[in-house]
Amino acid sequence: MTDAVDPLRPAAPTSDRIAPILFAVAIFTSACLVFVVQPMAAKLLLPTLGGSPSVWNASMVFFQTALLAGYGYAHLLQRLATMRAQVGVHLGLLIVAAFFLPLQISGLLGDPDPSQPAMWLLATLAVSIGAPFAVLSATAPLLQAWYARVRAGHADGQNPYVLYAASNLGSFLALLAYPVVIEPLASLSDQRLGWSVGYGLFVVMVVGLGVQVWRRREIGTAEPAPLEASPPIAWREKGMLVLLAAAPSSLMLGVTAHLTTDVASAPFLWVIPLALYLLTFVIAFQTRPAVSPAIGLGLQAAMGAACAALIAFRTGEWLLVFTVNLAAFFFTALMCHQRLAARRPAPDRLTEFYLLLSLGGVVGGLFNGLIAPAIFDMVWEYPLVLVAVGLLRPWSRREIRPWEIICCVAGVVIALLGPLSMEAVRYAPDIRAAIPDAELVRIAQAILGIATLFAFLIRDRAVMFTIVLAAIVWSGYHLARGYDWALSERSFFGVMRVAKIGDPLMGGPVHVLMHGTTLHGAQAQAPSNRCQPTLYYATSTPLGQAMLQMQARRLDGARVGVVGQGSGAMAAYKRAQDQLTFFEIDPMVDRLSRDPQWFSFINGCADGPVRTVLGDARLTMDREPAGSYDLLVIDAFSSDAVPTHLLTVEAIRGYLRLLAPDGVVVLHLSNRNLEITLPAEAAAQALKVPHLHQVYIEQSGQGDMAEASTEALLIGKSPAALEGFGDDARWRKLSPTTVRPWTDDYVNLFGSLVRQMKMAAR
């Protein structure tokens, strides 16, 4: 006698074992694809918008918005009655989106408008990669919802949120792999092809999952029943979920902007906050979190208070500042994500939950990526959100105790005591002269440190804790006025500041132009020194030497083009018979350098008009006639975000096209973080053009801003172009390099970073 077959019996044991693995692998793969495409898309955008960190922040707004669209689609798809229908629709859209592959930036919208690049960027990304990204991003919530239904009779089906950890782990690994493995080893064409292959493999996995669903009825298994309905999520709860998701999203972009603008910048810095952000998701949605919520709350209070005390100061140990800021961000994001995990609804509300999380991400991204640059002149969004997030801490319901009120008042009073004390010192010249500025800063930070202790003691009182933090942050920025800026303005491309400093060797006051942490120019204000080229542009530097040499050749007038306007110092060389053109991507830089209140190289020192062409240099220079320049100075590589597309073989070939037969290109290669001389030399070797190299070391005793150590590569259109330079012992030939030249299809920033670190360690 045989047992009767139960038509509702689960599928074969092998299928039961395979299904969880297939779901996990599919979610992991989709997450990898989603997070590889983000830096890849930013790289594809490089030739049009340069390497500004704002390009990354604005791109993140698009990706978060596309993620919201994907999650919204996943939520709506759950309204279909059967899983078969859901699988069929999703598989169909995945196939339709495949027609947008391989990934490329569409030229449908033309070149970006320099005055409104953000909207162009968002629209171009939507047209170029919006479809595959949105459909792919729907995978995590969609597959988790399917998993909950397919595995409804199993223990693991009760908690599909565990798969969210697998999703974020895939995102985390892909994010770290891109700059370290993928970019150095694969050309952009290979990356696009590899991503397309990965997308195809993912579609095959979805087909495999679809087969699992289809086979259920074939082997006598019922269609997975819809999950039992749970109470709807209240609107107040929805608002809290959105806020808890928005705060970490905003802080992720805010800490990146703060560190690159106010502390010190380095390549791949954006990777660290985003990686930490993803790691907090992994921890928060683990079954057994590596950091318990109670410990996380305590660490968030401690690091948040410490960060509030340091956030305004741009001096001191940069490693300490980096560590405190990143730790504060990590534990704040972890706190928010653990509170989200604790509030997650029943599995039948899973897609709605992820939709609300995605909406919060968009809110945070929009605030930082588009709203803040338009309304703030500095990176104010970071301290504002860092303070406000204190209100998202748990609110204690027990009665307020007298000692807690005392701690709150003491914290505020002590925090405010710092600025009052410093104001007194400002008006006491004898005391001011006796105490160095660095010592004053340390005293101020110590005072704020005491206030942070009181904040920590009342960490269970969210409102009181936030009030003390607000006082600490306000006091910190007030105390930092001792080395504040005469002007601070912000555009899509970053924060520009003008500082007034004193330099007796240059006749007194000097105006200094800073972009983030990078010095972009300086001008003495004393009439006797006002038209003296300074820093990298001094007559003694390679850039100055090249300018003087070309003017000596062209007594009837030299035609000079300069990529990177800065303060306009190169205009100080301009004679009446010369033609000078700046190629500048940021309209704000052009405006500041032409404002005599700050800099007068262009509108006071130059003899005759100076032309500025706005937009990315590669695009605008392509429109210039061939042979229209005698000298090109490419001065765009000293900044924190290197526009690598200006240093490729194709870029240098374009520069040579613009030169007269005896014209030369000077590449200014000074950079704090990257060794870029060898890629530049390799490009010159690949083009078989003559080139010379010089490292100039600044001379002491002329003033801090008179000149600067400068590294440059001189490239001639012909051997005759380097006549006069070859006789100068300061210019030398380089030994042939084996470094692979950068091209529009291949750049290895990580290799340049490693070479620079090795050089610094010697």
Which tens digits make up the pLDDT trace of 669-726? 988 778 899 999 999 999 999 999 999 988 865 657 888 889 999 999 999 899 888 7
Is residue 126 in some structural domain?
yes
Beta bridge partner(s), residue 612 = 582
Is residue 146 in some structural domain?
yes
Q: Say if residue 70 is in the same domain as residue 157.
A: yes
Domain boundary among 174, 205, 225: 225
Cis status, amide bond into 102, omega within 30 of 0: yes
Q: Say if residue 262 is in the same domain as residue 347.
A: yes
Q: Which domain holds residue 473?
A: 402-483
- The average confidence (pLDDT) of the chain is 83
Which 3 state secondary structure label does DSSP give 537? Answer: helix
Give pLDDT, residue 9.
44
Is residue 551 in some structural domain?
yes
For residues 347 and 213, the answer to whether their CB atoms sit within 8 Å is: no
Q: Say if residue 383 is in the same domain as residue 456.
A: no
Domain boundary among 364, 393, 422: 393
The pLDDT-based confidence of 12 (bands split at 50, 70, 90) is very low
Distance CA 55, CA 383 (A): 21
Q: Say if residue 206 is in the same domain as residue 175.
A: yes
Is residue 507 in some structural domain?
no
Q: Say if residue 174 is in the same domain as residue 109.
A: yes
Q: Say if residue 361 is in the same domain as residue 435.
A: no
Q: Is the pLDDT of residue 154 over 60?
A: no
**What are the tens digits of pLDDT across the range 345-354?**
877 777 788 8
The amino acid sitting at 728 is: D
Q: Say if residue 198 is in the same domain as residue 109.
A: yes
Q: Say if residue 218 is in the same domain as residue 244.
A: no
Distance CA 369, CA 253 (A): 8
Q: Say if residue 43 is in the same domain as residue 170.
A: yes
Q: Say if residue 135 is in the same domain as residue 59.
A: yes
Domain boundary among 192, 225, 258: 225
**Count of domains in the chain?**
4
Q: Which helix (H) or strand (E) holds 497?
A: strand 494-503
Is residue 520 in some structural domain?
no
Is residue 190 in some structural domain?
yes
Q: Say if residue 7 is in the same domain as residue 110.
A: yes
Q: In what order do the strands lie in the sheet with 559-563?
A: 611-614, 579-584, 559-563, 629-634, 659-668, 710-716, 691-696
CATH number at residue 100: 1.20.1250
3-state secondary structure 68-122: HHHHHHHHHHCCCCCHHHHHHHHHHHHHHHHHHCCCCCCCCCCCCCCCCHHHHHH
Is residue 516 in some structural domain?
no
**What are the tens digits of pLDDT across the range 486-521?**
888 888 777 888 988 887 878 888 999 988 767 889
Q: Say if residue 2 is in the same domain as residue 66.
A: yes
Q: Which residues contact 735 (CB under 8 A, 6 or more apart)?
A: none
The tokens describing 98, both together, are 């495949």
Least Cα distance to 54 among 373, 497, 496 occurs for: 373
The pLDDT-based confidence of 183 (bands split at 50, 70, 90) is confident
CATH number at residue 636: 3.40.50.150
Distance CA 93, CA 24 (A): 21
Is residue 522 in some structural domain?
no
The tokens describing 19, both together, are 């299904």
Q: What's the distance, CA 77 to chain centroid?
A: 34
**What are the tens digits of pLDDT across the range 547-586?**
999 999 999 999 999 999 999 999 999 999 999 999 998 8
**Alpha carbons within 13 A on the beta-carbon side of 677:** 22
The amino acid sitting at 581 is: T
Beta bridge partner(s), residue 691 = 715
Burial class for 700, CB neighbours closer than 10 Å (0-12, 13-18, 19+): exposed
